[in-house]
Every structure is written in C-alpha cells, then in structure tokens.
C-alpha cells in the first residue's frame, strides 16, 4: 500500500489541470491506463469556448448554453463556469498553450498588434471559440504535459488501469460511507496495487467505445463512470449521448472527426447531388446545435437510402482551408479526398456523454472523498445537449474549483481524524488466467452493435427493452468471468462497457419524452412536467 494526498485517474485536460494545482499542496498519483499522452483531449479539434471579445458577453454565452441544453442546464453552475472562463484560459496561455491569433487591421505587424483569432460553431451566437488550428486539444495536452514533466510532487502511473474504489462500506463498516483508496492494475506485471488516499479524483473521460461507431479513441470505455457506480455514487442524465454530426465516412478512416469548426467557417451540408437540406430542419441551418444536425443527417440518410451525407467547403479559398484545417486536410488527403476541391463524406458517430457521475459545481460527488471532473462528470452545465466547445472550458473550470474545495477541506479532515488504518491488499483467490479471449472480444462486439442498433440517435421503447434484456444476460456472463479469472485490461474494459451500456439504457427508459439528445418515436414531444434530471444510484 502506498499513500498519496491525491489520486487522479486520467491524464486529459481535467486530470492534468487538477494535478498541477494540487501538487502545490501535496503529492499526487496520476493514474492513466495508456500512455500519458493518450486521452480524449488530444482528439479535440474545435477549441475552447470563452468570452474574450468586446462583441460578446457572459450573458450571451450563458443564453446559448441554456438553449442548447433544452431546459436541463443548471443556470447557476452555467454562469459560474462561463464567468470563470477568461481566468482559466489565461492560465493555459501562461502555461504555454499557443492559441491562434490574427493581426488587427490598420495596425503595424507584430505581436503587440495581434488578437485571438476566434471562430464560431453550432449553437453559438458569437465568434468565441479559441483554437490552435484544428488540433486544439493536442496543443493544450502538450503544454500541460510539459508542465508536469519531472514535477517532484506528481508520480505518473502509465499503463495502469483503475479497477475499483476502496470504501468503508466495502470493508464492512456501517458508518457513513467514504472513499479510502483505489485498486490499480499494473498492465505490464499483472499485479494489482493498492493506492491509499482520502481524495480520489476521476478524470477518465467518456464512454464513446460503448457504440460501434464513435469519434472517441479506444481508451474511452467509461471506466470512471462504472467505478463510481459500483461504489454507490449517484449517476445523472446518461440517456443524453451526443452524436457528432460529421465523422469522416471511409472504410479505412476509423473514427476521424471532422470538426464543427468546418461548418463554423462556412461549410455546407449537402446530399450526393449537392443539394442543401439543413434549412428544412432548422432556421439556423448548418449552425444548428449538434443534436438537430445529427438527427437531420440521420433522417436524410434513412429517407434517401444513402450511406452518408457530404460536407462542402470548396467555395472557400484553398489557402484559407489549408491554413485553418491542416490536420483535417492532411488526413482526408490520405484517403484520396482533397477538401479544397472535393466534398467530404460524413456520418454521425457517438461523441460525448452529457451525463455522468453527478457532482456539484466543485466536482464533489455524492460519495465522500470521491470527485469527478471533465467528461466523466455531470455538473449540470451541458443539460440535455452540450454546446460545442464547452467541454474543455468545463474541464479547466471545475478542475480549478475542485482543487480549491479539496484544499479548504483538508484541514477539516485532519481535525475530524482521518481513517489511517491500512487497507487490505488485492487478493485473487483461486482465479485463473483467461484461456479463451474470443469470448471477451465477442461480448465486446455484441455490446457495441446492440447499442448502435437499439440505443442510437432515434430510439423506441421496444428497442430499449430488448437492449436491457440482453445486457442483463451479458452482465451475468461477464461477472462470472470477472470472479473466476485474473483481471486483465480487456476484461476490466468489457465489464465497464456493459455497466455503462446498462446505465444509458435504463436512463433512456425512464425518460418518457424527447428532449435534447434523447429522441424517441414513442414520445416525440417534450413534456414540461418531465424537465428534470434522471438520477440512478446502485443499492
């Protein structure tokens, strides 16, 4: 057993931001199941939404967020995050993040005359998206990793996967439950470590890999969400899974995202004959919120039998396109698509979980000692549909607030007498090594296909019920594997995927209306009486 003042799970923008600030007050264990550079953050193309222009205002940003959230955003939390945005962005710039800038017309060239180059995305009424070309997440991750490199107070556990939280109730105590630490699998040795801490911060990102088609990397298997659920934390709004409208459609492209910023810079959505269709679905056209655009593309594909729709930015100057979107242009070029001349084939794909572990505005969950920040958390900012580029803003804002809360409460922990008794080591019992990996891979594939077919952009009660029945059976099979065999990354991810899939389905069955990202043919209208969060808690 090793003691730490803070244990952070995840090395994206939320986890790294928190670790840097917490390291000024105590040591930090940073646990990440892959290379520390691999996270959802790295794949964020568009940017970070923040009010920095004189033409913009906090009120407008709040208004846009509330409208996109379809009635379920927590207004007080939204205002707090939006208003703190400029200070958090300034911290990123001070760390070395290089956001794109432009020269001010009429002023002499030079750094003193430049200003931030802002773009616009769907649902935003103003240009307020700070970006670094089309690799904003990669640039932010670079600066944060540079800052933690060789930090004496931060111990990075790469290729270590969180297994489960250790709590008072799991140890048999009847007093108020709280977190005591975390079991972590060393993927190289197979050993399970015991990390002791009264403060565990989940920053594990989302669960896109629960779907067959997703813009998320392979690591996005909902680990933090499943871990929190098993420990008894409240989960909120998991029916709201955001499907990004424009994922590159190509048999060899995998899960490459075509940023919303492409539409923000004037790209049009068209069918194979070059005809626009978004005006039939929303007066805002291509700049409608993501849920509207994703459903429109899905409807057009089903209506016409087409395999994809197209994004057309060929009317813009080639120099502008290549300067603004070098990563997208380069990737498309690998597949024979010249975006300065050719339309980009696109389809919707699972992208972002708007629900998650329920927290307050400081990242505190319903389980004492457990905190959640970033995509794994449900703060109330996103409501029923996330406004584009609000995710990176939320991550840095809540990481900052979470650290301040924890440092304020540490003195109280000492005064009240923290639990200092040693924790039990992990015991494998009579578990054996897995002998048939094909079963793991088959169940993994079945969950993802089932979720795509039955729990996608458009849902029905019958499909959801079928999904729930099959997931219950799969859960029994997976639990048998978990208890009879030694844990591996594949087995742990499968276990977590099944748990997260069930949470999405159960939440969707409870919402008997259509709102935001949850659209069901059985209840196609929104119901004001049902405008409240969907809460689940394991008993």
Taking each helix axis from N to C end, the angle separating 461-484 and 437-454, rounded to the nearest 10 degrees, works out to 160
Sign of CA dihedral 131, 58, 386, 373: positive
Query: Token digits for 130?
Result: 């700070």
Mean pLDDT of the chain: 92
Polymer length in residues for the chain? 539
Residue 182 is predicted with a pLDDT of 96
The H-or-E segment that residue 351 falls in is strand 344-353
Q: Give the closest residue to 239 by CA, choosing from 104, 382, 360, 337.
A: 382
DSSP 201-229: EE-----GGGSSSBSS-TT-S-HHHHHHH
Query: Token digits for 412?
Result: 């109280």
Query: Token digits for 419?
Result: 């639990």
Residue 114 is predicted with a pLDDT of 62
pLDDT > 90: what percent of the chain? Answer: 78
**Across 344-351, average pLDDT:** 94
**Is pLDDT at 107 greater than 70 in this prediction?**
no
Q: Has 303 been annotated as catalytic? A: no
Distance CA 227, CA 230 (A): 5
525 φ, ψ to 5°? -110, 155
146 φ, ψ to 5°? -60, -35
**Across 38-52, average pLDDT:** 89
**Residue 176: DSSP 8-state:** S
Query: Token digits for 4?
Result: 């730490």
Domains, the chain, with CATH or none? 248-348 (3.90.700.10), 437-536 (1.20.58.100)
Q: Is 146 exposed, middle or buried (0-12, 13-18, 19+ CB in 10 A)?
A: exposed
Comparing 263 with 113, the larger pLDDT belongs to: 263
Going from the C-alpha of 458 to that of each of 86, 383, 516, 518, the distances in angstroms are: 37, 18, 12, 8
Distance CA 285, CA 272 (A): 18
Contacts of 9 (CB under 8 A, 6+ apart): 15, 31, 32, 162, 182, 200, 201, 202, 203, 204, 223, 224, 227
Of the candidates 88, 234, 290, 459, the residue annotated as catalytic is 290
Distance CA 428, CA 405 (A): 37
Q: Give the closest residue to 306 by CA, choosing from 296, 293, 292.
A: 296
pLDDT in tens, 210-268: 998 898 999 999 999 999 999 999 999 999 999 999 999 998 887 788 988 899 899 99
pLDDT in tens, 390-442: 999 999 999 999 999 999 987 666 544 455 667 888 887 777 777 677 888 89
Helix (H, G, I), strand (E, B) or coil at 113: helix
Give strand pairing partners of 515.
518
Residue 123 is predicted with a pLDDT of 87
Residue 417 is predicted with a pLDDT of 46
**Is pLDDT at 111 greater than 70 in this prediction?**
no
Helix %, strand %, coil % of the chain (to 5) = 40, 20, 40
Query: Token digits for 316?
Result: 């813009």
């Amino acid at each position: 057993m090793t003691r730490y003042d803070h244990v952070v799970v995840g090395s994206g923008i939320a986890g790294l931001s928190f670790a840097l600030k917490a390291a000024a007050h105590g040591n930090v264990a940073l646990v990440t199941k892959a290379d520390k550079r691999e996270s959802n953050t790295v794949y964020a193309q568009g940017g970070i939404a923040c009010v920095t222009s004189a033409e913009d205002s906090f009120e407008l940003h709040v208004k846009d967020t509330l409208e996109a959230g379809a009635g379920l955003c927590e207004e007080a939390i939204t205002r707090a995050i939006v208003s703190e945005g400029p200070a958090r962005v300034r911290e990123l710039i001070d760390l070395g993040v290089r956001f794109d800038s432009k020269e001010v017309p009429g002023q002499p060239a030079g750094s003193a005359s430049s200003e931030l180059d802002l773009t616009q995305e769907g649902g935003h009424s103003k240009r307020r998206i700070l970006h670094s070309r089309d690799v904003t997440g990669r640039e932010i991750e670079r600066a944060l990793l540079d800052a933690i490199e060789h930090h004496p107070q931060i111990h990075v556990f790469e290729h270590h996967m969180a297994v489960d939280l250790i709590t008072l109730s799991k140890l048999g105590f009847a007093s108020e439950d709280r977190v005591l630490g975390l079991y972590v699998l060393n993927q190289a040795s197979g050993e399970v470590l015991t990390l002791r801490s009264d403060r565990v911060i989940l920053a594990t990102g989302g669960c896109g890999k629960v779907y067959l088609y997703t813009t998320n990397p392979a690591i996005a298997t909902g680990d933090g969400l499943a871990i929190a659920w098993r420990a008894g934390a409240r989960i909120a709004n998991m029916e709201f899974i955001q499907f990004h409208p424009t994922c590159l459609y190509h048999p060899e492209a995998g899960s490459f995202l075509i940023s919303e910023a492409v539409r923000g810079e004037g790209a049009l959505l068209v069918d194979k004959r070059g005809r626009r269709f978004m005006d039939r679905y929303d007066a805002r056209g291509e700049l409608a919120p993501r849920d509207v655009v994703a459903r429109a593309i899905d409807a057009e594909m089903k209506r016409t039998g087409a395999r994809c729709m197209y994004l057309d930015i060929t009317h813009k100057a080639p120099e502008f396109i290549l300067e603004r979107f070098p990563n997208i242009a380069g990737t498309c070029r690998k597949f024979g698509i010249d975006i300065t001349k050719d339309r980009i084939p696109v389809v919707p794909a699972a992208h972002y979980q708007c629900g998650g572990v329920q927290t307050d505005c400081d990242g505190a969950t319903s389980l004492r000692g457990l905190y959640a920040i970033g995509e794994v958390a449900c703060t109330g900012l996103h409501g029923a549909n996330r406004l584009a580029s609000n995710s990176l803003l939320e991550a840095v804002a809540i990481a900052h607030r979470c650290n301040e809360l924890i440092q304020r409460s540490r003195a109280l922990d000492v005064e009240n007498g923290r639990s200092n008794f040693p924790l039990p080591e992990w015991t494998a019992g009579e578990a054996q090594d897995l002998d048939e990996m094909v079963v793991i891979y088959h169940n993994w594939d079945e969950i993802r296909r089932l979720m795509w077919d039955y729990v996608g952009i458009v849902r029905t009660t019958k499909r959801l019920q079928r999904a729930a029945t099959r997931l219950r059976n799969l859960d029994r099979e997976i639990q048998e594997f978990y208890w009879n065999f030694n844990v591996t990354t594949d087995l742990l991810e499968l276990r977590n995927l099944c748990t997260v899939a069930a949470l999405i389905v159960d939440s969707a069955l409870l919402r008997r209306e259509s709102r935001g990202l949850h659209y069901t043919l059985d209840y196609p209208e929104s119901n004001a009486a049902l405008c409240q969060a969907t809460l689940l808690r394991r008993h």
